[in-house]
Amino acid sequence: MNDPAVLFHAYLDQYDQRAWTRAVQSLLVDIHPVDRDATVIWFHFHPLFLARTLRTAADRDAVMRQLWLQGQPDLAALIDASHRFLYGHRYWPHVVTVIGAAAGSDAAPPSLDLAALIRELASRVSRAAGVDVSLTLGITAVGLMTLEQVGADSFASAGAVRIPPASIARSPEQVLRARARDKGQGFFGFLRGRKEYDVTFDEHDPQAAFRAIETQEIATAAANDTRDYAARDPRCHEGPIPVQCRSASCGTCWIGVIGGRDRLAPLEPRERQRLREFGYLDSDEPQPLIRLACQAQAFGPVSVVLPPYNGIFGKIRRQQEEVSPAPTP
């Protein structure tokens, strides 16, 4: 008898990067604002084409060197932590249970349409968690992609929540208000004669922030944070954000902007070009969710998330898109 989990994984394997991108885009309107941008950022951080390239490589180490991959690109090593910046992370145990049950069922998937499948599973998660489905859509999409990338055995061992109780107790509205709040300069800011803003890089840690002077690049501001971050990530030798060149040449300092992207200067042509070459961005937005910290200038408080790796894989992305062209409407 065929293993249902193997069959379910084979079902997921039929969808390529373009199919996933279309499915996620179609879901965004119904994802709660607290997780709408976060969901897009997660899928930028963990693209399917990169996972499949590494999984099928005859010489993985050679491919890692070819793509200049640094850090941890393997989702299996981050299975419970990669999405902790999503509000829906708190429902992760329910997601694992629901998706695991669907994958292990002898019944056929409830839909052959990927977006419809995500919606159906998200509805089951929302019922199990007792919350609105808008709060479970994003994390369910993340869960299904995680299963696709790590396989059924690894996915079955997942389900831990990696945020503190104080974060779990916060409502979506409280999180959104915190991201929108401009704390002002205060009396000492007035005396300094310059404007400074908080850059938060972990919303679950009150200490995970540094100050940026108005118009200062985020990576430059981060370098003034002299706490030891290298023990957590060897790429961090100057502050909490990995950085090497400071000239948009290496791609080390890419970040996701989860709150306050309108408080960053719009992309200049060089940053946009380099983001595309690295494979991080394929958008024409003037203020996208993915930026290079060495180029993005702050004009207000922002909240960012840090990817666990960096590399230069734009060429592979373009090659795969040429092999799998966009469908005709």
Here the CATH number for the domain that contains residue 212 is 3.10.20.30
Judge whether 86 and 139 are in contact, CB under 8 Å: yes
Do 144 and 193 lie in a common domain?
no
* Residue 10 confidence (pLDDT): 86
Do 197 and 273 lie in a common domain?
yes
Do 63 and 115 lie in a common domain?
yes
Do 114 and 187 lie in a common domain?
no
Find tokens 């941890």 and name the residue. Answer: 72
Q: Decide if 309 is inside a domain.
A: yes
Q: Decide if 324 is inside a domain.
A: no
Structure tokens of 118?
């995500």
Judge whether 261 and 283 are in contact, CB under 8 Å: no
For 304, which DSSP code?
E
Selection from 88, 152, 76, 145 nearest residue 114 by Cα: 145
Selection from 296, 240, 295, 233 nearest residue 263 by Cα: 296
* Residue 328 confidence (pLDDT): 34
Q: Decide if 36 is inside a domain.
A: yes
Do 227 and 190 lie in a common domain?
yes
290 backbone dihedrals φ, ψ, rounded to 5°: -110, 130
Q: Decide if 185 is inside a domain.
A: yes
Q: Decide if 292 is inside a domain.
A: yes
Q: Decide if 167 is inside a domain.
A: no
Do 153 and 28 lie in a common domain?
yes
Do 229 and 199 lie in a common domain?
yes
Query: What b-and-e string marks burial along 50-79, b requiring 16 or more CB atoms within 10 Å of the CB?
Result: bbbbbeeeeeeeebbebbebbbebbbbebb
Structure tokens of 51?
């996972």
The secondary structure of 152-181 as a DSSP string is HHHHHT-----S-HHHHT--HHHHHHHHH-
Instruction: Flag whether the pTM goes above 0.85.
Output: yes
* Residue 329 confidence (pLDDT): 31
Give the residues of the chain that fall short of pLDDT 50.
Answer: 1, 325-329
Find tokens 């990530």 and name the residue. Answer: 233
Do 272 and 144 lie in a common domain?
no
* Residue 313 confidence (pLDDT): 95
Do 12 and 101 lie in a common domain?
yes
Q: What is the rounded CA–CA span in Å between residue 74 and residue 304? A: 21
Q: Decide if 103 is inside a domain.
A: yes
Do 84 and 203 lie in a common domain?
no
131, 160, 189 — which closes off a domain? 160
Range of the domain at 88: 4-160
Q: What is the rounded CA–CA span in Å between residue 252 and residue 311? A: 7
105, 127, 160 — which closes off a domain? 160
Judge whether 318 and 14 are in contact, CB under 8 Å: no
Q: Decide if 225 is inside a domain.
A: yes
98, 130, 160 — which closes off a domain? 160
Handedness of CA 152, 153, 156, 158 (dihedral sign): negative
Do 29 and 114 lie in a common domain?
yes
Number of domains into which the chain is organized: 2
284 backbone dihedrals φ, ψ, rounded to 5°: -100, 10
Do 98 and 230 lie in a common domain?
no
